Structure 1
Amino acid sequence: MTMDLSRFNTLADDTIEAIADKVDDLLGDKIDADLQGGILTMTIGGGGGQYVVNKNGPMRQVWLASPVSGAWHFEWDESGHWLSTREPKLALDAILAQELNDRFGVTVAF
């Protein structure tokens, strides 16, 4: 059964806002996090690339574009995680946290 659009929007918006807040708090001096219209763009200084996190309402997915691992699509799982559509054991928060941890040497947990 497809998730109701209103519930999807709430979950996706809350997730994207939480990521923006955490990145700004922990890495604000290294990453420029800009949340506009539900699209989070995180630009790494010094030409280090850009992450983009956004939602796709018709598909009920959150999408991640990573300069490290490429494009990902995630669907909400009732366990409380956005899980990858290609690697269902991988979650959005875990992938992003690991990449940021590896890059900046700080513990990022969403």
Structure 2
Amino acid sequence: MDATAFEDLAEKTLESLFDAIDDAIGDDADVDLENGILTVELEDGRQYVINKHAPNQQIWLSSPISGAAHYGYDEAAGAWISTRSSDSLLDVLSTEMSQIAGTPVRLD
């Protein structure tokens, strides 16, 4: 994927995540997207940081629940997949947001 396609896809992904997370747990968290960095600060002070990393064409996640992970886009799967496992970014975030909300949350 060329740099422009990566930037477009990563930005759309972050915007989509912002909207979905804000809708799902916005009453229990401060959700902000600025300059390609999505932050989710929970009421207890824990914080998620999700950002694009252009040099590696990845989305990076820092989670207070699962820790740090990097996700590359898998065109065949049509998803951002962890570089260390077969987990998708959306599945990880859906699971964790469900734990936070106390109700099922699907971000896809």
Structure 2 residues without counterparts, runs of 5 or longer: none
Q: Number of paired residues?
A: 106
Q: Per-residue displacement from partner, 1:84-110 (whole Å, max 9, x unpaired)?
A: 0000x1000000110111222122212
- 1:12-37 CA distances to partner (integer Å, 9 max, x unpaired)? 11111111101111211101101110
Alignment of 1:7-26 (within 5 A): 7-26=5-24
Tell me, yes or no, if structure 1 residue 37 matches structure 2 residue 27. Answer: no
1:74 alignment partner in structure 2: 71
Report the AA paired with residue 42 of structure 1: V
Structure 1 Cα separation of the partners of residues 28 and 104 of structure 2 = 14
**Structure-2 residue corresponding to 1:50:** 47
Q: Counterpart of 1:86 in 2: which secondary structure?
A: coil
Kindly provide the amino acid, as one letter, of the partner of residue 86 in structure 1: R
- C-alpha separation in 1, matches of 2:105 and 2:13: 15
Give structure 1 regions of 4+ aligned residues with deviation exceeding 6 angstroms: none
Q: Which runs of 5+ in 1 are unaligned?
A: none
Superposed CA RMSD in Å reads: 0.9
| TM-score normalised by L of structure 1 | 0.92
Mapped to 2, the partners of 1:59 and 1:46 lie a distance apart of 32
SS in structure 2 opposite 1:108?
coil
Query: In 2, distance between residues paired with 1:6 and 1:60?
Result: 10
Mapped to 1, the partners of 2:12 and 2:101 lie a distance apart of 25
Q: Percent identity?
A: 44
